Amino acid sequence: MVMEIVCPAGTPAALRAAVKAGAHTVYCGFNDETNARNFPGLNFNRTELRDGVNFAHQHGAKVLVAINTFPRAGDEGIWHRAINDAEICGADAVILADLGLLDHASRNHPALRRHLSVQAAAANADVINFYAETFGVKRVVLPRVLSVPEIAAINTETDVETEVFVFGGLCVMAEGRCSLSSYATGLSPNMNGVCSPASHVDYTEDHGVLDARLGGYLIHRVDKGEPAPYPTLCKGCFSAGEKTGHLFEDPVSLNAEKLIPQLQKAGVTALKIEGRQRSKSYVAQVVRNFRAAVDALDAGRPLPEGMLARLSEGQAMTTGAYKKTWR
């Protein structure tokens, strides 16, 4: 079977572009704090989602709705309404992380397919099966802490479909279990759907040196003219002991295109592309390339070489935890 390509859509235009470029599935979120890409100008209102779902379905594609932040105490109604509206709009599944929300959805929306978000960081077959038995979860997005052999082992021990990230931003920490961002800025992926938010970024230049700060903490310092990466906390340059450098992770992004055949052998159902904040042309190009790769694999042809290097914006690429030595 052809591996399913799951593509990001931050806007209705990106959704249509992804579907036209050959996406089997598109994922998106509502324009509020219920999803983990809660950026200004991004995401869907209810009408846009309904229209987007209709468009995707007419073209044989599916739409998943990410409701994958952790509801704030006292305000769970906002997240409950998001699930309800996703079902009304005809979404093919919701992507959830919060235990209370999974419980709510399984009791109140039993017919709405439930996927487990990467934000739940379910990292072994026992807990994945537990989510399946308890909440009827049909698919799990695996956290980016697992190697390919570990993913293969998980697939031999569960009937739950697995979806893995293959391209885009890379979390170094177990997802959904990181509060670095709120420690420095007060805003976090779990509570607010943002990490290292632009609202807290500050660039200053002095004597030809450019400093990038987040929440007042110096994350990158580069000479003028050098590329200045966005100050994402875990990819900053820090000192510890005698060493100075990218102690947690280099400013890299994930590209596992070369591992697609191995991931298929490992029993992975779907390949996920990160980047709901990306433009529609970027999304379309990534989708076309990955669609070509899985079609080639299915037809027994070799994969197209180095197809995505151009899209990484000069950033270094990594295969992340899929290779065990990353750890």
Distance between CA atoms of residues 168 and 252, nearest Å: 9
The Cβ of residue 183 has, within 10 Å, a number of other Cβ atoms equal to 12
State both tokens at 192.
């607010």
Least spacing, CB of residue 253 vs another protein, in Å: 16
Give whichever of 123 and 292 is closer to another protein, judged by the CB atom.
123
Beta-sheet pairing, 270-273 with 161-168: parallel
207 binds another protein (CB under 8 A): no
321 binds another protein (CB under 8 A): yes
Q: How many residues bind another protein (CB under 8 A)?
A: 68
In total, the chain counts a number of residues equal to 327
Distance between CA atoms of residues 98 and 91, nearest Å: 19
100 binds another protein (CB under 8 A): yes
Q: Which of 13, 248, 277, 312 binds another protein (CB under 8 A)?
A: 248
DSSP at 311: G
Q: Which one of 60-68, 186-194, 255-263, 311-319 is the stretch in contact with another protein (CB under 8 A)?
A: 186-194
239 binds another protein (CB under 8 A): yes
The Cβ of residue 250 has, within 10 Å, a number of other Cβ atoms equal to 14
Amino acid at residue number 51: D
What is the widest separation between alpha-carbon atoms in the chain? 61
Chain CA centroid to CA 98, Å: 16
Write down the residue that tokens 């509801």 correspond to: 71
Q: Which of 40, 59, 88, 103 binds another protein (CB under 8 A)?
A: 103
243 binds another protein (CB under 8 A): yes
140 binds another protein (CB under 8 A): no
Q: Which of 2, 45, 126, 298 binds another protein (CB under 8 A)?
A: 126
Distance between CA atoms of residues 295 and 24, nearest Å: 12
Write down the residue that tokens 């029993």 correspond to: 267
231 binds another protein (CB under 8 A): no
Give whichever of 52 and 143 is closer to another protein, judged by the CB atom.
143
Write down the residue that tokens 């992926």 correspond to: 189
Based on its alpha-carbon atoms, the radius of gyration of the chain, rounded to whole angstroms, reads 19
Q: Which of 123, 201, 296, 297 binds another protein (CB under 8 A)?
A: 123
Taking phi over 0 as left and psi of -120 to 50 as alpha, with beta for the rest, 320 belongs to left
Q: Which of 13, 152, 228, 247 binds another protein (CB under 8 A)?
A: 247
Distance between CA atoms of residues 175 and 87, nearest Å: 26
28 binds another protein (CB under 8 A): no
97 binds another protein (CB under 8 A): yes
Give whichever of 157 and 298 is closer to another protein, judged by the CB atom.
157
Q: Which of 8, 71, 168, 251 binds another protein (CB under 8 A)?
A: 71
Amino acid at residue number 79: W
Distance between CA atoms of residues 96 and 117, nearest Å: 5
Using CA atoms of 197, 199, 205, 209 in order, give the dihedral in degrees to the nearest 10. Answer: 0
Q: Which of 13, 42, 191, 296 binds another protein (CB under 8 A)?
A: 191
Give whichever of 6 and 146 is closer to another protein, judged by the CB atom.
146
Q: Which of 11, 129, 158, 319 binds another protein (CB under 8 A)?
A: 129
Residues found near another protein in the complex (CB under 8 A): 70-74, 76, 97-101, 103-104, 120-124, 126-127, 129-130, 143-146, 150, 153, 172-174, 176-180, 182-186, 188, 190-191, 211, 215-219, 221, 234, 236-241, 243-244, 247-249, 321, 324-327
